[in-house]
Amino acid sequence: MTIGLKGLLTPPEPEDRDIAYLEVHHNGQIYDWAAYISRSISLGDNLSTMEQKIYDEIDYKEAQWTALDPKTKTILNRMIGQEETVSIQKEEIVKPDMPDYYALRRGEYPAIGDQLGGIAKGIDSAEYQDILSKIQVVKDKYPKPPYI
């Protein structure tokens, strides 16, 4: 069992933590993982402190995946306006908890002044619609976990 660093992301202020992208070798499998780490502690100390927690989290998620029956979900297909049943991929369950998707979104949303400017011009304005589409792109890129 080993954990290796694949990359490091420093989100914009006011976030005060970095995101470490990890390759975790555990129980004969390789997992792409991510974890928030403190900037005030060395990377090695961060990883050694959270190593067992990461392994435990993977084991817990693997058990959730194994117990999931059926491995399908119903979603709304916006293109046709109807619900459809799709398979749930293992990677949707066995993945790091990143409830701080807010931190990732925060750095990519349009500036608050631009958002307010769009609202001030009215919901039928091109500026407002442009802001909404930019926000939706960020939300699609960093979706909420399914349990929130």
Q: Residue ranges of the domains in the chain? A: 1-68, 98-148
Note the pLDDT tens digit of each residue in 129-143: 999 999 999 998 888
SS3 80: coil
Note whether 38 and 46 are within 8 A (CB): yes
The one-character DSSP state at 136 is H
pTM of the model: 0.61
What gap in Å lies between CA 131 and CA 76, rounded to an integer? Answer: 24
Question: Is the predicted pLDDT of residue 146 greater than 80, yes or no?
Answer: no
The H or E element spanning position 28 is: none
In the numeric block, which tokens belong to residue 19?
């995101």
Mean pLDDT in residue range 93-111: 79
